[in-house]
Amino acid sequence: MESWRNFRNEVYDLDRRELISLSSLKQWAFSIVLAILVFMYTWKWAFPKPNYDHYPEALRPSDAQIRQHEFALRMGIGRRMQLKEMNIVVFACESHVQNDAAHDALVTMKSAAIFTSKIVHFHIFTEDRLYHIFMAELDKWPNNIKHRVAFHFHHATYPESIFQLNNSFDTSSCQLSFLFLPNILSKLEHVIYVKSGSIFLTSPDTLWANLLDYTERNAISLLPLYEKGQSSKKQENDQVIQQIFHSDIMLFDMARIRETVFEIPIQKQGNDFPITRENYKTIKTTWQPYMLLTVCKLFENWFNSPAKDILNIIAFFNPDVVNQLPCSWGCNNTSQYLLTPHNNIADKQFYNRVRCLVNAVDFRNMSSTVLKLESFFLKWYNHALC
């Protein structure tokens, strides 16, 4: 109170000495407050909140529809700001041939850099022995590419709790490491995971844009292994789960994955096959090592490909979390957007030819390079459809 009295006395003293004018200050303050009130009233009149009271009952939107509309408006602008920069994850740690793991990852990264104009952050999970190979090759990339890409190296490992089930799968490789990305890359919100050796045939921006199509529950985009009506090579999996998804390429909204509550099976209470909700007791939990380890331990006896099988079990019990990618990303042998070493392509020499083309790309003459690649891919795609 004493300091306030001193301040007031000093102000009055300045007014008496005509250094300031209290009357003018009061007029300015009144004008500013009046202008703010007029602006608020005008804004409220120009952009009124929707009033549904006069709607007929049949046309009045439900509370769920209103929440979904508000969610879409809220996420639209925010998501576009978040998605200006792309995060791509590759693993290079499980090749039996020396240096092949690094070169597989490099060809994937190079194909992505060729076709996109976005700022790209490559997150490379690798071993110490391969680090010098990456640096030797990445140093050759010209500055006009380096200014819009960044490289983040991570050691390929598992959370400590994963070693409790070291008999369920081989922890010496990084076969399942991508399942723990939401826990490992805890500061990232969105990533593309792509299997090393895969080659983008078009801009990954198309895949990245799928995040804008997510519903309120979607948290991960998966690619179906085969289209409906198309036969599967693994008939034993058909007896377990009707829809099979790839694990070669995935789109993670990791912020939502960390927040989403998943339903997972923990105990059999009926027949083993087919997998149904009635045959298994389930619990609800968040995405964490315990959840993945529980699924792994329960179904370890029928795993053919642990990474893919764990992912498919989670997708089966939580279908609303999955956003299905279009088949043009590689679920059949006429993939337009992505080529993998394991695609069902009759002539496997094509993959090696594309890989050689990508490795021979001259970053300094990007326009002619992209036109040449697109022309080649178009000819192949038209031939594959015949």
**For the ranges 4-8, 294-298, 312-316, which has the lowest average pLDDT?**
4-8
Q: Where residue 342 falls among pLDDT bands split at 50, 70, 90?
A: low
- Whether the pLDDT of residue 330 is over 80: the answer is no
Q: Where residue 228 falls among pLDDT bands split at 50, 70, 90?
A: very low
pLDDT of residue 89: 95
Distance (Å, whole) CA 289 – CA 180:
7
**For the ranges 232-236, 334-338, 372-376, which has the lowest average pLDDT?**
232-236
Q: Are residues 132 and 16 in the same domain?
A: no
Distance (Å, whole) CA 342 – CA 230:
17
- Whether the pLDDT of residue 371 is over 70: the answer is no
Q: What is the CATH number of the domain that holds 102?
A: 3.90.550
Residue where a domain stops, chosen among 307, 329, 351: 329
Task: Report the percent of the chain where pLDDT is more than 90.
Answer: 15
- Whether the pLDDT of residue 386 is over 60: the answer is no
Q: Are residues 113 and 36 in the same domain?
A: no
The chain-wide mean pLDDT, for the chain, equals: 76
pLDDT of residue 347: 54
Q: Are residues 262 and 313 in the same domain?
A: yes
Provide the residue range defining the domain that includes 252. Answer: 78-329
Q: How far is C-alpha 53 from the geometric centre of its chain's CA atoms?
A: 40
Candidates 215, 214, 213, 224; CA nearest to 249 is 224
In a domain, 130, yes or no: yes
Q: Are residues 82 and 22 in the same domain?
A: no
In a domain, 377, yes or no: no
Residue where a domain stops, chosen among 329, 360, 376: 329
Residue where a domain stops, chosen among 280, 301, 329: 329
> CB count, 10 Å around CB of 124?
24
Please say whether the beta carbons of 169 and 297 come within 8 A: no
**For the ranges 17-21, 129-133, 224-228, 279-283, which has the lowest average pLDDT?**
224-228
Q: Are residues 185 and 237 in the same domain?
A: yes
Distance (Å, whole) CA 224 – CA 308:
11
Query: Residue 338 contacts by C-beta under 8 Å, 6 or more apart in sequence?
Result: 194, 198, 199, 200, 201, 248, 249, 329, 330
Q: Where residue 237 falls among pLDDT bands split at 50, 70, 90?
A: very low
Q: What angle do CA 71, 48, 77 make, to 5 degrees?
A: 30
pLDDT of residue 235: 42
In a domain, 355, yes or no: no
Q: Are residues 255 and 183 in the same domain?
A: yes
pLDDT of residue 293: 80
- Whether the pLDDT of residue 306 is over 90: the answer is no
In a domain, 127, yes or no: yes
For residue 200, give the 3-state DSSP assignment: strand
pLDDT of residue 221: 93
- Whether the pLDDT of residue 56 is over 60: the answer is no
* DSSP structure string for 317-357: H-GGGEEEPPGGGTTSTT-SSEE-TTS--S-THHHHHHHHH
Q: Are residues 288 and 148 in the same domain?
A: yes
Structure token digits, residue 63: 């509370």
Query: Residue 127 contacts by C-beta under 8 Å, 6 or more apart in sequence?
Result: 92, 93, 155, 156
* End-to-end C-alpha distance for the chain, whole angstroms: 89
Q: Are residues 133 and 13 in the same domain?
A: no
Q: Which residue has the higher pLDDT, 259 or 166?
A: 259
pLDDT of residue 123: 94
Q: How many residues does the chain have?
A: 386
- Whether the pLDDT of residue 153 is over 70: the answer is yes
Distance (Å, whole) CA 196 – CA 103:
9
pLDDT tens track for 176-227: 788 889 988 888 989 999 998 888 888 898 899 888 888 888 999 998 875 4
Distance (Å, whole) CA 376 – CA 374:
5
For residue 69, give the 3-state DSSP assignment: helix
Q: Which residue has the higher pLDDT, 304 or 39?
A: 39
Q: Are residues 219 and 103 in the same domain?
A: yes
Candidates 154, 224, 223; CA nearest to 194 is 223
Q: Is the dihedral of CA 29, 33, 36, 38 positive or negative?
A: negative
pLDDT of residue 231: 37
> CB count, 10 Å around CB of 195?
21
Please say whether the beta carbons of 221 and 325 come within 8 A: yes
Structure token digits, residue 328: 């043009």
pLDDT of residue 167: 52
Q: How many CA atoms lie within 13 A of 40 on its CB side?
A: 6
Predicted TM-score of the model (pTM): 0.71
**For the ranges 104-108, 164-168, 237-241, which has the lowest average pLDDT?**
237-241
pLDDT of residue 225: 75
Q: Where residue 49 falls among pLDDT bands split at 50, 70, 90?
A: low
Q: What is the DSSP letter of 164?
A: G
- Whether the pLDDT of residue 138 is over 70: the answer is yes
Q: Are residues 297 and 209 in the same domain?
A: yes
Average pLDDT (108-125) is 90
- Whether the pLDDT of residue 251 is over 60: the answer is yes
Q: Are residues 110 and 27 in the same domain?
A: no
Domain count, the chain: 2
Distance (Å, whole) CA 226 – CA 259:
30
- Whether the pLDDT of residue 61 is over 70: the answer is no
Q: Are residues 33 and 82 in the same domain?
A: no
Pairing, β 85-92 against β 119-126: parallel
Residue 278 to residues 265, 268, 292, 320, Cα–Cα distance (Å): 10, 9, 21, 18
Distance (Å, whole) CA 385 – CA 229:
18
Distance (Å, whole) CA 308 – CA 245:
7
Strand partners, 285: 262
- Whose tokens are 């104009």? That residue is 117
> CB count, 10 Å around CB of 188?
17
pLDDT of residue 62: 61
Phi, psi for 342 (deg, rounded to 5) = -110, 15
Q: Where residue 163 falls among pLDDT bands split at 50, 70, 90?
A: low
- Whether the pLDDT of residue 361 is over 60: the answer is yes
Q: What angle do CA 359, 344, 226 make, to 5 degrees?
A: 120
Distance (Å, whole) CA 42 – CA 9:
39
